[in-house]
Amino acid sequence: MSRPFLIGVVLAALVATPVLAQERDAKDRQRLLDLAYTLGESHALRQACQGETDQYWRSRMVRLTEVEQADQAFDAQMRERFNTGFASRRSEYPTCDDASRKAEQQVSRKGQSQAQRLSQSVRQAHREPDSVADDEGAR
């Protein structure tokens, strides 16, 4: 699973159907926190091989927080999760080697799965009000 594909899924889900974080249910808020952690892990693993100037995943995290327009407390939680994921993988894989590349692939797959679940949840949340309106219109 390629990184561009993963980020495409994430951004498509979040940009195409923006929902303020305050309006999300607890599961979606947790999914966002988990995704922020995974983006932090990805950032650390990518920097191990690309160098500390690489900001690919950090810029995606910034975009995520911009799209979410979360309240200050939730925004801080997302940033903290990103930083925790980053610190965890940075300490575990400080240099680029086969193990760090394998970890990057595993994290990419995990992130893709998280993004798909979040995307499905957002799409479902946007369909439910429409189906209620359709039912009422049929009366």
Q: Over the stretch 62-93, which tens digit does the pLDDT of each residue have? A: 999 999 899 999 999 999 999 999 999 999 99
Average pLDDT over residues 27-49: 96
pLDDT score recorded for residue 123: 84
The residue ranking higher by pLDDT, 53 or 134, is: 53
Q: Identify the pLDDT of residue 32.
A: 95
Q: In the chain, what are the domain boundaries?
A: 3-138
Instruction: Give the residue from 117, 118, 95, 115 showing the smallest Cα distance to 45.
Output: 95
Question: Residue 131: its pLDDT value, please?
Answer: 47
pLDDT for 133 equals 47
